């Protein structure tokens, strides 16, 4: 038995969530969560549809800063003239997610909080029963690594690396009140509990403080449409000369490398990327190829920076 709720205010949504303690799921665009329901990976009793929270639908540009409601769809982000002008990095990242039709439903808040993926977890019930469940579901060990007691599922958000390099902060609402935290702090390097500060909380808005001087974005995937990322690299340089490079799809959380552009070398950059990425063979693309592509993409970005 399940129940469907469509609260009109955030307070109402939060109190519903506390009524159902751990037996609910927040529903944004729902394009990813529906598949989890069909594959019986989510069995929560209550569906709390957040589409009634109408004050989370707005895009506000204020000088060089930007405030996005969490329910703004990825398609709106791609086509909004103010975002194309100020933050083309974000527009390109949003345009690289899924297909044009899915982007009209999928929301930015949902993309930032997308569930981590793994080839041994995101499968049908029959597939998982035949192979044996991994530790993320009911089993005891990780099947990708052949028996480690740690989960290495990948974070696959494409807008997260873009917004992290733009130094974005998110507004998180809980029953205790509203809190603004840097976006990169909501991700934890753990394959099972990959979000922190988000327990019983609702992400309501995203704020990007300033326009970058320079930006770069590239996503690696098998097909040019629909596929989740195998490696996303976003890079931005801010007005103070700080370079931020963020890699996603290769570890349990986005990997940020932050350094003043004057002190940055390609060798140092690739070394710290390789050191921080806990990449395992849990994607359609082979592990060796994905590891090699980290170097290729970082090198590609470095060449564009050097040319300027």
Partner 1 sequence: MEKVQLNINGFTRIVLVDPHETILDTLRNRLFLTGTKKCCDEGTCGSCTMLIDSKPVLGCLTPTVRCVGKEIVTIEGISSGDDLHPVQKHLVKNGGMQCGFCTPGVVMTAIPYLEENPNPSVNDIKEGLSGNLCRCTGYKKIIEAVKDAAEELNT
With residue 215 as reference, give the H or E element that holds it: strand 214-220
Residue 52 or 139 with smaller CB distance to partner 1: 52
38 binds partner 1 (CB under 8 A): yes
Count Cβ atoms below 10 Å from residue 273 Cβ, excluding itself: 21
Instruction: Kindly state whether residue 12 participates in binding partner 1, applying the rule CB under 8 A.
Output: no
Question: Residue 31 interacts with partner 1 (CB under 8 A)?
Answer: yes
Two tokens, residue 180:
């603004």
Rounded to an integer, what distance in angstroms lies between the CA atom of residue 130 and that of residue 102? 31
CB of 273: closest distance to partner 1 in angstroms? Answer: 30
Residues in the chain: 308
Binding test (CB under 8 A) with partner 1, winner from 40, 82, 100, 241: 100
Contact with partner 1 (CB under 8 A) among 11, 60, 196, 225: 225
Q: Which residues pair with 217 in a beta bridge?
A: 234
Stretch that binds partner 1, among 1-9, 145-153, 205-213, 275-283 (CB under 8 A): 1-9
Give 103 or 184: the residue with its C-beta nearer to partner 1.
103
Give how many residues touch partner 1 by CB under 8 A: 24
Q: Does 270 bind partner 1 (CB under 8 A)?
A: no
CA 7 to CA 191: how far, in whole Å?
Answer: 31
Q: What b/e sequence results for 1-38 when a residue is b if at least 16 CB atoms lie within 10 Å of its CB, and e otherwise? A: eeeebebeebeebbebbeebeeebbbbbbbbbbeebbe
How is residue 48 written in tokens? 């709390």
Closest listed residue to residue 252, CA positions, set 193, 200, 207, 173: 193
Question: At 165, is the secondary structure helix, strand, or coil?
Answer: helix
Binding test (CB under 8 A) with partner 1, winner from 11, 60, 99, 196: 99
Listed in order, strand segments (DSSP E) in 98-162 are: none
| Segment 261-264 long-range contacts (CB within 8 Å, at least 24 positions apart) | 261/237, 261/305
Query: In this chain, which stretch among 64-72, 101-109, 143-151, 284-292 interacts with partner 1, using CB under 8 A?
Result: 101-109
Place of tokens 């044996």: 132
The only residue of 7, 28, 30, 69 in contact with partner 1, by rule CB under 8 A: 30
Closest approach of Cβ 251 to partner 1, in Å? 25
Give the nearer residue to partner 1 in terms of CB position, either 15 or 225: 225
224, 262, 306, 308: residue in contact with partner 1 (rule CB under 8 A): 224
Sole window of 35-43, 126-134, 206-214, 269-277 interacting with partner 1 (rule: CB under 8 A): 35-43
User: Would you tell me how many other CB atoms lie within 10 Å of the CB of residue 190?
Assistant: 16
Stretch 44-73 residues interacting with partner 1 (CB under 8 A): 47, 49, 51
Binding-site ranges for partner 1 (CB under 8 A) = 2-4, 6, 27, 30-31, 34-35, 37-38, 47, 49, 51, 98-102, 104-105, 224-226
């Amino acid at each position: 038995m399940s129940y469907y709720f469509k609260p009109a205010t955030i307070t109402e949504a939060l109190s519903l969530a506390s009524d159902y303690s751990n037996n609910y799921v927040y529903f944004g665009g729902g394009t990813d969560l529906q598949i989890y329901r069909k594959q019986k990976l989510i069995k929560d009793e209550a569906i709390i549809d957040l589409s009634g929270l109408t004050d989370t639908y707005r895009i506000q540009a204020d000088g060089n800063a930007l405030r996005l409601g969490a329910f703004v769809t990825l398609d709106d982000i791609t086509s909004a003239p103010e975002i194309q002008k100020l933050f083309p990095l974000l527009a390109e990242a949003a345009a690289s997610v899924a297909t044009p039709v899915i982007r009209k439903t999928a929301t930015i808040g949902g993309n930032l909080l997308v569930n981590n993926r793994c080839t041994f977890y995101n499968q049908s019930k029959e597939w998982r029963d035949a192979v044996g469940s991994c530790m993320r579901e009911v089993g005891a060990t990780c099947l990708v690594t052949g028996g480690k007691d740690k989960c290495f599922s990948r974070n696959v958000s494409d807008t997260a690396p873009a917004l992290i390099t733009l130094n974005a902060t998110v507004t998180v609402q809980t029953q205790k009140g509203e809190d603004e935290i840097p976006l990169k702090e909501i991700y934890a390097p753990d394959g099972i509990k990959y979000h922190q500060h988000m327990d019983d909380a609702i992400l309501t808005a995203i704020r990007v403080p300033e326009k970058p001087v320079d930006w770069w974005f590239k996503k690696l995937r098998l097909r040019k449409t629909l596929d989740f990322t195998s490696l996303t690299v976003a890079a931005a340089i801010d007005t103070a000369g700080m370079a931020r490079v963020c890699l996603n799809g290769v570890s349990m959380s986005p990997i940020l490398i932050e350094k003043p552009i004057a002190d940055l070398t390609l060798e140092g950059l690739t070394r710290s990327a390789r050191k921080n990425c806990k990449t395992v063979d849990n994607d359609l693309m082979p592990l060796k190829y994905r590891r090699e592509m980290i170097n290729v993409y970082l090198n590609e970005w470095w060449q564009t920076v050097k040319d300027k």
